[in-house]
Structure 1
Amino acid sequence: MKELSVFVDESGNYGGENAKHYLITLVFHRQSISIQQEIARYEQVLRDRNLPNIPLHMNPLMRGNDAYRNMPIQTRMRLLTCFSTFALKCPIEYFTFAYQRNQFSTDAAMFSKMQQDLVAFLSERLSVLQAFDAIKLYYDDGQEAVKSTLHTAFEYALGTQVVVYRNCSPKDFRLQQVADYICELELAAIKYEKSEQGNAEKIFFGTYRDFKKNHLRRIRKKRIE
């Protein structure tokens, strides 16, 4: 049985007067290609470097919140380096949809456009997607609007008999963490392009030139064109 996993994550400001950007990233993985070796190597690197084996969450990592609270910045930077290497070794593809919040009168209008874009994206790749017996869509159920948009778009393009939905927690799936990582990189790219990068981006990614060389260009080799 041929199965395709699609891990979904969103990033950026959502709602509110100060909202600027909203992104949603889809990470595609053919389940016939195992990533257990990559996971084992990544976790061994963490042990070898005496780093905590915790689920990667980019926003808290870069800002020292949640599980990263009181963790030295050097440790957080080393964690990011290790995970970046892991993500680059994973046999995945991805695509990110990005929206500028102030271009829409309401959140509903933004999600309506997102749904249209998703349907168009899936329809363009229909022959590839229809080759799978099942497509498993993983989302952590964070935003009801995202969940509804995903369901409607995938079912419209592929039919309910093909798509299987899975609620998931990032701590249980490394590729869900990869989706989070990529989404934050694509958000950072927008910020750099618009000169909106904050201290966190400057500390973890350096200059725009450094960011493109060391992070963006590498991960974009996996982007679906």
Structure 2
Amino acid sequence: MSQRKAMLAFFSSFVRKLPILYTTFVYRRSEFADLGKLAERMRRDISEVLLNHLGFFQSFDDVKVYYDNGQDIVKQALDRSVSQILSKGVVQRRKTSMTDYRLEQVADYLCTIELALVKYEAKEGSKTYNKFFGGIGPFKKNWLKQARSKRMRQTS
């Protein structure tokens, strides 16, 4: 356990130094009448972020979408939103393996931090979370605060 905690801390330090921004979305399946409504909401949320930060995304020569194809509904929402908002010639899609790309590992880490917050707030935090993060207080003060410093700011 101590070796894993140390590796997590080193990875967290690595993430802190990267010039990246991120955003996440949380959906509860039970809040949607069917998968079609959920898919539409995902697509709309992704499109909104892309539109709100269009200048940022257009500042790059290449935009690559990495997704492990774990959930088809997520893949479809990403594909539809990105191809609708960004130029198709700029977007490159890659099927990936977590071990192949550091940025995909970073994305997984940031999603894990955001999911831990959801679990803690729903009083569903596990013993494992507490072992790694030290409970909700230390988690928010350290891990979440560090991750959120990389969060894409909402524009209005």
User: What's the counterpart of residue 38 of structure 2?
Assistant: 110
Is 1:129 matched up with 2:20?
A: no
d(CA) in 2 for partners of 1:143, 1:194: 24
| TM-superposed deviation, 1:158 | 1.1
1:77-156 equivalence runs, <5 A:
77-156=5-84
Q: State the one-letter code of the partner of 1:93.
A: L
Is 1:207 matched up with 2:128?
A: no
Q: State the one-letter code of the partner of 1:100.
A: R
1:24-43 equivalence runs, <5 A:
none
d(CA) in 2 for partners of 1:158, 1:177: 24
The structure with more helix, counted as a fraction of residues? 2
Change (3 A) 1:78 1:128: closer
Q: State the one-letter code of the partner of 1:118.
A: I
| TM-superposed deviation, 1:125 | 1.4
Q: State the one-letter code of the partner of 1:189.
A: L
Partner residue of 2:89 out of 161, 164, 179: 161
SS at match of 1:171: coil
Q: Per-residue displacement from partner, 1:7-58 (whole Å, max 9, x unpaired)?
A: xxxxxxxxxxxxxxxxxxxxxxxxxxxxxxxxxxxxxxxxxxxxxxxxxxxx
d(CA) in 2 for partners of 1:166, 1:215: 29
Q: State the one-letter code of the partner of 2:70.
A: G
User: What's the counterpart of residue 111 of structure 2?
Assistant: 183
Q: Answer whether contact 2:116 2:125 (CA < 8 A) is retained.
A: yes
Is 1:221 matched up with 2:144?
A: no
SS at match of 1:151: helix
Q: Answer whether contact 2:42 2:74 (CA < 8 A) is retained.
A: no
Q: Answer whether contact 2:119 2:125 (CA < 8 A) is retained.
A: yes
Structure 1 runs, 4 residues or longer, greater than 4 Å off: none
RMSD: 1.3
The structure with more strand, counted as a fraction of residues? 1
Q: State the one-letter code of the partner of 2:54.
A: L
d(CA) in 1 for partners of 2:11, 2:60: 29
d(CA) in 2 for partners of 1:95, 1:165: 19
| TM-superposed deviation, 1:101 | 2.2
Q: State the one-letter code of the partner of 1:172.
A: D
TM-score by length of 2: 0.91
Is 1:174 matched up with 2:138?
A: no
SS at match of 1:137: strand
> Structure 1 unaligned runs (5+)?
1-72
Change (3 A) 1:90 1:128: closer
d(CA) in 2 for partners of 1:221, 1:211: 14
